[in-house]
């Protein structure tokens, strides 16, 4: 298991660094290596009871928030690294063995609250602050996972069975960082984050309340996703907003992987095709 995880780290580092190297100038060459290495180690050390996670986390924080490195390309490298690791580290991507309607509603209501705060931060164009909050969330989840047996009794009210603590929140964080790192158009970034953080949980809650079938995506939930994302879509993009909302609705309904990540991937693709 250790060997496979280190191979994942190596692949994550090489992938994120090569993508950076392909798209950016040589001026930031030396900055990219430590950022790619440290961000690639974050999830590798997430479940460690030793101090590896804190050393890696502290190093990444110092580099990213030292103001010596442009925040946009830092987020890009971090998002690519986390994305690759989350896809290939199977114990972070386990599906829940049992799904409770009450649990899913609680989780999605919390996501809507967090999403609203995140959208407010993005509306003010504070990418750096939002990245800091995401990394703080990963740090908090790690501390609770390793040391917080008493706290976990309360936090488990929001966690599914059969998964490592915090893996669901990390999947959302990976999706958000992909949007932050790879979408440069401010309005499309806001729309994509609204779809991911607000429309997605609205779809789940609506489907559960009306269809009462936990674990199964319904046409009612998909309609709720489409209608809710259509509001900012029409305001920001006019008729194109209908197309964007419909495509992201399809991504949510038919996602072959975690929908937090798949919605983000499709949104990034749309930004490359229609916006750039």
Chain segment 206-237, per-residue pLDDT in tens: 877 776 665 567 788 889 999 999 999 999 99
**Cβ neighbours of 162 (radius 10 Å):** 11
Residue-level pLDDT at 235:
93
The dihedral sign for the CA sequence 48, 52, 56, 59: positive
Give the model's pLDDT for residue 246: 95
Q: What's the pTM value of the predicted model, to 2 decimals?
A: 0.85
Low-confidence ranges of the chain (pLDDT < 50): 1
What pLDDT is recorded for position 216? 61
What pLDDT is stored for residue 11 in this prediction?
A: 85
In this prediction, residue 214 carries a pLDDT of 57
Which pLDDT score is estimated for 17?
77
pLDDT for position 1: 44
**pLDDT of the residue at 162:** 66
């Amino acid at each position: 298991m250790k060997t496979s995880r280190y191979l994942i780290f190596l692949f994550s580092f090489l992938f994120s660094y090569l993508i950076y190297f392909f798209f950016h100038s040589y001026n930031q060459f030396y900055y990219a290596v430590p950022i790619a290495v440290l961000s690639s180690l974050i999830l590798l050390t997430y479940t460690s009871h030793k101090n590896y996670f804190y050393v890696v986390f502290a190093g990444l924080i110092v580099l990213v928030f030292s103001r010596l490195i442009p925040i946009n390309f830092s987020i890009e490298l971090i998002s690519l690294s986390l994305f690759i690791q989350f896809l290939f580290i199977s114990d972070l991507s386990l599906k829940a063995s049992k799904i409770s309607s009450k649990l899913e509603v609680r989780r999605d209501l919390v996501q809507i609250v967090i999403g609203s705060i995140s959208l407010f931060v993005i509306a003010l164009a504070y990418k750096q602050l939002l990245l800091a909050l995401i990394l703080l969330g990963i740090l908090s989840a790690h501390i609770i996972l390793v040391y917080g047996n008493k706290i976990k009794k309360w936090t488990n009210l929001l966690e599914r069975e059969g998964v490592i603590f915090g893996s669901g929140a990390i999947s959302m964080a990976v999706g958000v960082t992909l949007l932050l790192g790879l979408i440069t158009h401010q309005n499309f970034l806001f729309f994509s984050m609204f779809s991911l953080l607000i429309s997605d949980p609205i779809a789940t809650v609506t489907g559960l309340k009306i269809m009462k079938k936990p674990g199964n995506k319904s046409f009612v939930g998909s309609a709720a996703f489409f209608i809710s994302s259509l509001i900012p879509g029409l305001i920001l993009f006019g008729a194109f907003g209908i197309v964007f909302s419909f495509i992201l609705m399809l991504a949510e309904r038919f996602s072959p992987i975690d929908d937090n990540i798949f919605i983000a991937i499709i949104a990034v693709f749309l930004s490359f095709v229609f916006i750039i």
